[in-house]
Structure formats: structure tokens, C-alpha cells
């Protein structure tokens, strides 16, 4: 029996590269990490999450995983996308 997938990290994609940090980090923390490593301001191409299976999911797909895994603490608006504040 396979284990249920769940959200483990906040993540962003900048120029095709994933920058990720484990909970309770936020997407802002991921942006700060990318800025620190790249030495310049960045604008993420995609905001998302990393799962326990190592998959990158955008906010919409991650919401489904987090909901199924009972990780939603309180769902903020918008209701169709996952935010770190919804979980931690």
C-alpha cells in the first residue's frame, strides 16, 4: 500500500529552476532564497509546492493534495488555490 502524498515545501520556479523551503516557510522566503542565490531581484514564473513524492505542483493542484491529506488548517481566499497560510 502506498502512502498518501502530502505537501512538504513551499516552492517557486524562476527561469526554470525550483527554489524550495520546508514548512513553515512561505513563498516570500523562497523568493528571498532565490534573490540571495542569484544576487538580483526575481519574479517567480510559478508559485507552488513540493509534495512528499518530490513533485512540484502549482497552487491549484497542490490544493487538491493538501485537502486530501487533511493539511488545510483554515482556507483563506481565493478558495481555488493553496497558500502557505492555509496550512501553516
Q: Write the pLDDT tens digit of every residue in 24-49.
A: 999 999 999 999 999 999 999 999 99
Pick from 76, 55, 72, 79: nearest CA to 5: 55
Between CA 13 and CA 18 the distance in angstroms is 5
SS3 call for 60: helix
Between CA 7 and CA 16 the distance in angstroms is 21
Checking if the pLDDT of 84 tops 60, the result is yes
Does the pTM exceed 0.75? Answer: yes
pLDDT value of residue 1:
54
Amino acid at each position: 500500500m502506498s502512502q498518501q502524498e502530502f505537501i512538504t515545501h513551499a516552492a517557486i520556479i524562476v527561469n526554470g529552476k525550483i527554489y524550495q523551503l520546508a514548512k513553515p516557510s512561505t513563498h516570500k522566503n523562497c523568493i528571498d532564497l532565490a534573490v540571495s542565490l542569484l544576487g538580483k531581484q526575481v519574479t517567480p514564473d510559478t508559485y507552488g509546492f513540493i509534495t512528499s513524492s518530490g513533485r512540484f505542483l502549482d497552487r491549484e493542484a497542490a490544493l487538491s493534495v493538501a485537502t486530501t491529506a487533511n493539511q488545510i488548517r483554515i482556507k483563506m481566499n481565493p478558495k481555488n488555490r493553496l497558500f502557505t497560510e492555509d496550512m501553516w
